[in-house]
């Protein structure tokens, strides 16, 4: 596994672990349980893919979830404007 890919996956894993802590610090929203579940599943997927040296799978997981997070953020922004 290359240094760049390993660094990328570990930094993203650290980010998602940090998000598990942040979700409890922020004010609770209506979708708290969904977000908590999302963060737990994401960290488990990244940890498992990294542990089994499935770097392509880990990269795919991270790309898909980053795109979904952007879509959800834009959708919630437009929903708040209504």
Please count the CA atoms within 13 angstroms of the CA of 62 that sit on its side-chain side: 22
Structural domain containing residue 76: 3-81
Domain total in the chain: 1
Q: What mean pLDDT do residues 58-72 have?
A: 85
Q: What mean pLDDT do residues 2-31 have?
A: 88
Report the mean per-residue pLDDT for the chain.
86
The answer to whether residue 18 scores a pLDDT higher than 90 is yes
What global pTM score does this model have?
0.75
Q: What mean pLDDT do residues 42-54 have?
A: 90
pLDDT digits (tens, 9 = 90+) for 23-38: 889 888 887 888 888 8
Question: Taking the CB of residue 62, how many other CB atoms lie within 10 A of it?
Answer: 20
């Amino acid at each position: 596994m290359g240094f760049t890919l390993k660094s990328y996956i570990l930094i993203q894993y650290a980010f998602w672990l940090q998000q598990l802590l942040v979700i409890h610090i922020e004010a609770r929203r209506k979708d708290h349980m969904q977000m908590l579940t999302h963060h737990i599943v994401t960290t488990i997927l990244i940890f498992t893919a990294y542990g089994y040296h499935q770097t392509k799978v880990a990269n795919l997981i991270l790309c898909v979830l980053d795109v979904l997070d952007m879509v959800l953020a834009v959708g919630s922004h437009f929903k708040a404007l209504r």
